[in-house]
Structure 1
Amino acid sequence: MTAVDAPAGPGDSEDAPQRALRRRASLRTALVAVLLAALAAVLLIVAVTTHVSLRSQLDAQLDAELARTLARGPGPQPSGDLLAFLDAPGQGEYLLGAVLEDGTAVRGAWRDDDGDLEPLTAQDLARISAALEEEDGTRDVSLSIGRYRITEEDPVAGRGPGGGGAAELAVGIRTDSADLTIARLDLTLALVSLAALLVTGLAGSAIVRRTLRPLEQVASVAARVADMPLEQGSVALTERVDPELARAGTEVGEVGRALNALLENVDGALDARHRSEERMRRFIADASHELRTPLTAIRGYTELLRMTEPLGDRGAESLERMEAQSARMTALVEDLLLLARLDDGAPREQQRLDLAELLMEAAMDARVTAREHTWRLDLPDEPVEVLGDPRQLAQVLANLLSNARKHTPAGTTVQVRLRLHGREAVLEVADDGPGIDPSVQGDVFDRFTRADRARSGRDGTTGLGLPIVRAIVVSHGGDIALDSRPGSTVFTVRLPLAPPAV
């Protein structure tokens, strides 16, 4: 059966400030992300609007240039060749012309950068024909010689070969300059947008961090208070939000004022609880001290009565019951006195002792008193030395074994294991009994808690055995944990080992 680790308690929350920091970082990130997203949306709208506007303007300029080319160029040519206008004086380079018959480009030419006319390839003619069929007006076509904006002239009679028939003429100009302008614009807009986002991100992060700094200080106060052990003892709750931050009128100030008011209330409640605990401890200690004398007298008188007076059967039975109840009451008073001393932090004896030896003696006593149980002992070969009070640690072992005996039926197997884990001694007391009711497990270490309704107990109990065990273990710098389910109940005690002998 494996050991059970102690559950995390309030003192195990050392990473709470880191969790709070991650939450604050997430808030800053969210605010900066929202700011950057809004700016990115605005920049995108501006960029798209600028791109579309300039593209439309450049397309309009290209269309105007095409119109001027048609107006001054393609007229009746002396040679009868419709493409002769390409070689006319004043025509720009990269000008393109194509002759269409029945909507199909049959031939064409273009001016290269040297001003020479070059024929269009059949592939380029096919692309021009396809583009003219799909759209009306001007259209953009990607050719092997570059990207062109093309328009066509209406059919004119007498412009076919030899002056007869009808033919159409398509004229195009290269769009490289406009495309380059658009590309440069897009690149400029992208770089400016990235620079704006970067600067805004850095500046926004600094502004948000500065703005949230008061809130971080408030959260830091709350985190430090959350890490304080408030469950018992005297607690000085001195943490407060700086009055400069707890001024009314701002959201952070209202939070700071509310937190300070809450801390004042908690501080008062903790002080009242501590005073109440102190009064209860004094009452228990005083009452226990006062009860020891009459209980001792009762036991003495019952023994004297037994020795000096003749008793009948009923008288002897009544006397035995008085002796049993006085012994039980004496044990209860002694337990209460021990808890009161442990609560007060009374100094205890410090001795270097072998926990394995104490456990062996306790197990031998348990075998004698509970022969109907099966006892198994698993101890390491080497000594397990701890620093502590031998009487108190012996009581821890006796209480744990007595608890397993009292609350399990005959035939139950109780396994007692002791092992070393790092610089700790780990003691496990496990049984295969019916287990502890889950509704009781969280309270088994509280005083006067009884698990009799969940386990088949036969002996009277006071409900102080396990609280005493926990108080002694904690006073020795250790801890105790419980893991219970039907067929398996394990109490795990961890104690620090004694430092190596010099």
Structure 2
Amino acid sequence: MRLLRPLSLRGRVTWTVLGLLAVILVVLFTAVDIALSARLHADARTRLTDRVALAGRLDPQLGAQQLVDRLRGDGVTARLCVRDGGGCVAAASDPAPPGRRFPAGGPARHRPTGARTEVPVETAGSVIFVRTGLRGNQVLTLSLDTTQITDALRRLIFLEVVGGLLALLLAGLAAARLSRAALRPLEDMTALAGRIAAGDRGRRLGHPRTDSELGRTAAAFDSMLDELEAALVTANAAEAGMRSFLADASHELRTPMAGLQANAELLLREELDRPDRERVAVAMIRETRRATRLVDDLLTTARLGQGGIRLATEPVDLARLAETETARARTLAPQLSFAVSADPAPVVHGDPVRLGQIVTNLLDNARHATPAGGTVTVTVRRDGERVVLEVADTGPGVPAIDRALIFERFGRGDTSRSRDTGGAGLGLPIARGLAAAHGGDLRYVDSPAGARFRVELPAAT
């Protein structure tokens, strides 16, 4: 039975409609046939009983032959016989009534003129008949052959079958055409999915109406394709970014590792005196620290990208933190001047270690970009619900074309922030990520001279 089931949705819909229509037609035709048969047989019985009543009224007025001729017709045959075995009066063409000649029992009772009594209707095969007694010991037999009714019902059933089959055929054709038109969006959806799978991306169904089930399905399908393509673009961009990140990280790590290898080989090959050995050892330590810091920065960058930075928040006096980090920068760059200007008690809620990392990265960026004799200024102030920290230097500044690049991983901008004079290009991206983790922001702002970076953080309540 499963092999006979149509595989397509259109076929299932068509066969379901035809099956339902066939059941409705069968029930309707059966009900019509039963009701019509009952009605026609009831009319036949009514004709016989009405003729019996008419015979009771005409019996005193007409003779036997006249009474028979008056009662017969319209399919009804009449026969008037004497009960004691006398002759019968009937039309020559009328057949003899079925059953016994006279009804069982005693002599028939005379029906009073105009009297109407219930006369039992008997059946013999396809013939129905009634017998009633008239005056003069006479018996009137009225009969009606129902063969014509049966034939008429058979012809009706034949016409119903033929008409029903034609109706089912036409309904099947109409249902197939209508279902094809109704399900066309599904076919379009299937064809579109095939083209997209073949590489023809960017196509959409574009169903104009969304007030129907198929229209809403088409709109949802288009939205799904938009989301999938956006996710694909994002995934491709993320993959490209990861490849670039790994390439840049490998390139950055190659420099300290190459220095370590060269110094180690120098120690093995040469017989160096103590000052030279100490110089090589100091260079190896410097390259090791450089590689360690780069690895730490890479780990921090990866955690920022995954939202995995954990902050141990507490109230932090940003002015005191700036003073501490500036003091460290003075020892690293004695050739520069450092100045701190702060409002009283600019407190924020944050992780003091991570906030210190933000300030350190900004100060490192400033001292690498500022030539000897320059000045680095740190300003901390309260601005409404925010605390603003600015680090400005008297270096060459950042050209407008490079201001977006410096916040990207391994982006350095101009040559003043190159690998030789600066870090790996991760300080500013890490500082911006940490500021965002605290609910703030880091951006570059215009300055009359040099570069100026502004950090805005929510003030502690």
Relative contact order, CA 8 A, sep 6+: which one is greater? 1
| TM-score scaled by length of structure 2 | 0.45
Q: Which has the larger radius of gyration?
A: 2
